[in-house]
Amino acid sequence: MKILKAKISHPKKQTFLISDLTYIKKRPWPSLIEGEEMIDPIEVIQHTISDIPRYGANGILYKEKKYSIYKGSSRVNAAVQLGYDAIEGIIINVWSISW
């Protein structure tokens, strides 16, 4: 398994499989593509997956994932483009964030 590691150490840092993440598919982080290290771990929100199947648009079965990205989708896109299977991140509590 190829893991994109964050340079900064964090006590709650863990490794997430990219296939387990829901993220916005957009332009990858340019400096990572150019070979620089990832400084901060991505920030992830953990979800509870329902036992009851849910359906999206046109009645298509909705594929729930355990995690979604709060901060760092462009870093995940860079990891995918560079061939990584996993990325380091931390789980955050969304309810403690002040808007």
Mean pLDDT for 19-48 is: 92
Domain ranges in the chain are 3-94
CA distances 26 to 47, 74, 81, Å, are: 22, 6, 11
CATH 2.30.30.40, domain 3-94, yes or no: no
Kind and range of the H or E run holding 42: strand 42-46
> Given this model, what pLDDT does residue 62 score?
80
CA angle 81, 24, 94 (to 5 degrees): 125
pTM for the predicted model, two decimal places = 0.82
pLDDT tens per residue, range 83-92: 999 999 999 9
> Given this model, what pLDDT does residue 96 score?
57
